[in-house]
């Protein structure tokens, strides 16, 4: 049964979502950055109306489909970085510099940008940012950077990250760190979040602490030894009106 069925109007829905958000905030440390607060991914699935899941592309086993040009999915552009930024680092991509305004997506070097493949951890298509080793090398998968540029400013976003696979004999390496940077459309940095990853799927959600719908783009980098894959990115197709 849908949790929204008992509510008869949008005002009640908004109140319900606000109460759930407050309860989540009070349950534990929620601050991600001065401008951002954590939000439960499950709550954002109810609140936001769009999900970028990469299922419009054919289902191919890893290494999957190589994407050298920026990718358009729904109301989002994806690429290696934002125009004005530089990619350095080895074996993981590191983003340097602020993006130029107005924001635009920039492609990476051929074979070192993005790929989409059927991911056995998610059980569906997922996005792999490719590192310097290049497609189709295993060492490149999940080691790169990715930028997402939204058509509309966002108050909140959610995403699921898969990092590494569990080692049955206990030989897994320590998990790495995920870094997300949030930008306004003029290229100004809203805030940055760093999170220690877990083996398997980590569900993340963030919202603007002041309620402003000004998240125009995010970038994602990591230093996880096994690399990452992204899936089920939640966003809003237009400003919410209750």
* pLDDT tens for each residue of 194-205: 999 988 999 999
Whether pLDDT at 26 is above 90: no
Q: What is the pLDDT of residue 23?
A: 42
Q: What is the pLDDT of residue 16?
A: 47
Whether pLDDT at 230 is above 60: yes
Question: Per residue in 54-64, pLDDT tens?
Answer: 999 999 999 99
Contact criterion met (CB below 8 Å) for 64 and 114: no
Per-residue b or e along 123-156, where b marks 16 or more CB atoms closer than 10 Å to that residue's CB: eebbbbbbbbbbbeeeebbbbbbbbbbbeebbbb
pLDDT band of residue 27 (cuts 50, 70, 90) is: very low
Q: What is the pLDDT of residue 165?
A: 62
Instruction: Quote the CA–CA distance of 1 and 4 in Å, as a whole number.
Output: 9
The total of other beta-carbon atoms located within 10 Å of residue 203's CB is: 15
Q: What is the pLDDT of residue 7?
A: 34
Whether pLDDT at 123 is above 70: yes
Least confident piece of the model among 14-28, 33-47, 74-88, 158-172: 14-28
- DSSP secondary structure string, 89-137? -SSS-EEESPPPSS--EE--STTSSEEEEEETTTTEEEEEEB-TT-TT-
Phi, psi of 124, rounded to the nearest 5 degrees: -160, 175
Which has more confidence, 156 or 90?
156
Three-state SS string over 50-94 comes to EEECCCCCCCCECCCEEECCCEEECCEEEECEECCCEEECCCCCE
Identify the sign of the CA torsion 80, 86, 89, 90: positive
Q: What is the pLDDT of residue 199?
A: 86
Whether pLDDT at 45 is above 50: yes
Section 224-230 average pLDDT: 94
Q: What is the pLDDT of residue 33?
A: 67
Is 15 strand, coil or helix? helix
How far from the centroid of its chain's Cα atoms is residue 9's Cα?
A: 31
Section 165-193 average pLDDT: 83
pLDDT band of residue 141 (cuts 50, 70, 90) is: very high
Q: What is the pLDDT of residue 79?
A: 98
Whether pLDDT at 5 is above 60: no
Contact criterion met (CB below 8 Å) for 173 and 165: no
Structure tokens at 114: 């993005």
């Amino acid at each position: 049964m849908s949790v929204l069925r008992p509510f008869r109007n949008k005002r009640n829905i908004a109140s319900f979502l606000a109460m759930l958000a407050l309860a989540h905030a009070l349950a534990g440390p929620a601050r991600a950055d001065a401008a951002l607060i954590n939000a439960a991914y499950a709550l954002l699935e109810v609140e936001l109306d769009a999900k970028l899941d990469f299922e419009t592309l054919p289902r191919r086993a890893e290494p999957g489909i190589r994407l050298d040009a920026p990718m358009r999915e729904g109301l989002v552009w994806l690429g290696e970085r934002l125009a004005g930024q530089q990619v350095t680092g080895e074996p993981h991509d590191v983003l340097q510099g602020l993006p130029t305004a107005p924001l635009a997506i920039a492609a990476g070097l051929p074979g070192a940008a993005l790929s989409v493949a059927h991911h056995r951890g998610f059980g569906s298509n997922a996005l792999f940012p490719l590192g310097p080793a290049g497609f189709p090398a295993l060492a490149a998968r999940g080691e790169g950077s990715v930028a997402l540029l939204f058509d509309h400013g966002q108050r909140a976003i959610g995403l699921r990250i898969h990092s590494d696979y569990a080692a049955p004999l206990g030989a897994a390496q320590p998990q790495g760190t995920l870094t997300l940077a949030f930008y306004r459309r003029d290229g100004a940095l809203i805030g940055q979040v760093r999170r220690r990853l877990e083996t398997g799927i980590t569900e993340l959600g963030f919202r603007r602490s002041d309620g402003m719908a000004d998240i125009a783009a995010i970038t994602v980098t990591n230093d996880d030894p096994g690399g990452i894959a992204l899936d089920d990115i939640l966003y809003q197709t237009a400003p919410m009106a209750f």
